[in-house]
Amino acid sequence: MPFPRLPRWSTGLGAGKRVQGFGWERAHVFCDLCFLASLGIRTSVLLKLKDPCSKYNFLKPEHGRIQQIGCSFTFYGASLLLEYFFKMFYVGVDVGTASVRAALVTREGLLKSTAEEPIRIWEPQPEQCVQSSSEIWKKCCTVVQRVVNGVERSQIRGIGFDATCSLVVLDEFFQPVSVCHSGDTDKNVVMWMDHRAAEQAVRITNTGHPVLSRVGGVMSPEMQPPKLLWLKENLEESCWNKAAHFFDLPDFLSWKATGSLRRSLCTLVCKWTYCPPEGWNDSFWTAIKLSDLLENNYSKIGNVTSPPGSPLGQGLTAEAAADLGLNPGTAVGASLIDAHAGGLGVIGADVEGFNLPCEHQPITSRMAMICGTSTCHMAISDKPLFVPGVWGPCLSAMVPGFWLNEGGQSATGRLIDHMVKGHAAYNQLQEQAKQRCPFAGENIYSYLNSHLNTMTDPSSPVDLLTPSLHVWPDFHGNRSPLADPTLKGMVIGLTCSQTVEDLALLYLATVQALALGTLHILEAMKEAGHDIKTIFLCGGLSKNPLYVKVHANATGLPVVLPDQMEAVLVGAAVLGACASKDYNSIQEAMSKMAKVGQVVWPDDKVKSFYKRKYSVFLRLVDHQREYQALMNPR
């Protein structure tokens, strides 16, 4: 019989005879990986299927995945046995706020190697935070080269990028354009957390345009339209008139890799007011005085979109492949915002056997929290749900076919650092942590967590240490659910004491405030129709046991931690896996590559405590607004 060749999903195998029975089966094939194939010699191969099926004549992706291969052949009269395990890998690249990371990820979602490089942040003026797209790409290349070192390039099937929703500006020759008054072209990225456009955001909100219903009714200064308007109003000659391409940072990386100007549906829908299937709304851009963006069918901000994970262009260009240390043509998936990649890395995990309330429930009963410098709360639904103060609903922005609502807190890890490192006892804390582990030093948060345990009775939860210390955590404004960037942080219950114990209590109260902020977002989502039963946590703060436990206790929901703690990188790798066609869909890829690691359950003993503390929490913001009204009479 003929031996037609199958695509590379089959780990390099050609075609086999009828697959029968279960377990190991013999078939005669041409093997792309074996040098004998180049000589026209057919080898005898043993196939072991994960989900064997006997009724199909040929192996197909949906009829079982090859787990192992044992290859025996006769060559020049000598009988040899060759057993090998062929691995397929994907590269995930994550550009966070202060660093670029990459990981080499297996088909099962296991991280084989990781690398990280810092990236610079400049603050040329108050509320301004900028970066360099050239430096970011250079660091991407560095970390990818490191993680693929020692691996056959042919085994790397795809690459995916995620990044913060920062704004990149390039000219008609794709060269950087400065976003600063200084004119320094190296500073051409307006960071996500840059709040220079707060006044422009208010003006856009005041238009009351219908597209604002997709961003919770309020335009955030962290989105791209107000940033674009600021650039036009403040840097018209030096920036606006020179700019020919405005990219969200994830789309910039995709363009650098493939040369494709297609934008990710994720970025345009979530941060630019793009509304599929209609697309851009001309009247919105006209209303906010940016009608010049309509020229050439929105060529400056993109007019063709791709769903996350769909293949872009012809894969890696020769130039990008050389920069990254990969093969030209390696599949590149349409990118995601970093938080959305984290969502892919956790929310689809198989939870069977963990007795979670979301077991045997639709995926819409889960919320992904991606917590690092800031925190994003990602909830999906099978129909559009409009949550005041929460971004969305956005169709297919994270999981194709589902509507996404995205809540968030603008400063979480950043706030904890601010509170701890700005305390008078911080130097003393560092010294104590160093003394406990003199050779390597101890992570200050690990030390604080253990120190809190010494401050209470072993039978009493540490949560109860803060009955008279309360924090309102919006030191960088409120993203959700109040959508008020003018709100400020508050601390109630301070004394004159400046000991390490006081620092520890302030740290605990700050973490509790962040958890109560999450509860605030959850309640807004619930009122709009979401039914969240389980929280899936990832990101840097998910490595802090106190942060995790307090979130379970304050929300009353179980918190799931991923098996692979770098879930954002797994999510980025999912994009590469989908682009390579090794998986048929995002849903299939994330269900296979995301896994449950640990479940943290809420403690019923503190349920009443958090109910009371939440009442105080809500009164804090009411009081702040009352004080603002008193001091700013109209």
Q: What's the rounded Cα separation, in Å, for the pair 345 and 572?
A: 8
Which pLDDT belongs to residue 180? Answer: 97
Query: Could you give the 3-state DSSP secondary structure of residue 572?
Result: helix
Which three-class secondary structure state does DSSP give residue 597? strand
Phi and psi at 191, nearest 5°, equal: -70, 160
State the first-to-last Cα distance of the chain, in angstroms, to the nearest integer.
88
What tokens were used for 107?
Answer: 């088909």
* Single-letter amino acid, residue 22: F
| Per-residue confidence (pLDDT) for residue 28, from 0 to 100 | 40
* CA-closest candidate to residue 482, choices 491, 473, 490: 473
Tokens coding 409: 């807190």
Q: In 10 A of CB 173, how many CB atoms?
A: 7
456-459-462 Cα angle (round to 5): 40
Q: Which two tokens stand for residue 45?
A: 């191969």
Low-confidence residues of the chain: pLDDT under 70:
1-86, 438-442
CATH 3.40.50.2300 fits 89-349, yes or no: no
Residue 488 is given by DSSP the state -
Q: Are 95 and 140 in contact (CB under 8 A)?
A: yes
pLDDT at position 439, please?
55
* β partners of residue 114: 103
Nearest to 91 by CA among 308, 259, 327: 327
- What was the pLDDT predicted at 440? 52
Domain boundaries, the chain: 8-84, 89-349
Sheet of strand 403-409: strand arrangement: 391-395, 403-409, 375-381, 366-371, 534-538, 559-562, 596-600
**Two structure tokens written together for 310:** 């769909």
Q: Give the strand pairing for 66-75 and 78-84.
A: antiparallel
Residue given tokens 């509860």 in the structure block? 519
Mark residue 517 as left, alpha or beta (left: phi above 0; alpha: psi -120 to 50; beta: remaining).
alpha
> Which of 102, 85, 84 shows the shortest CA–CA distance to 93?
102
Average confidence score pLDDT of the chain:
88
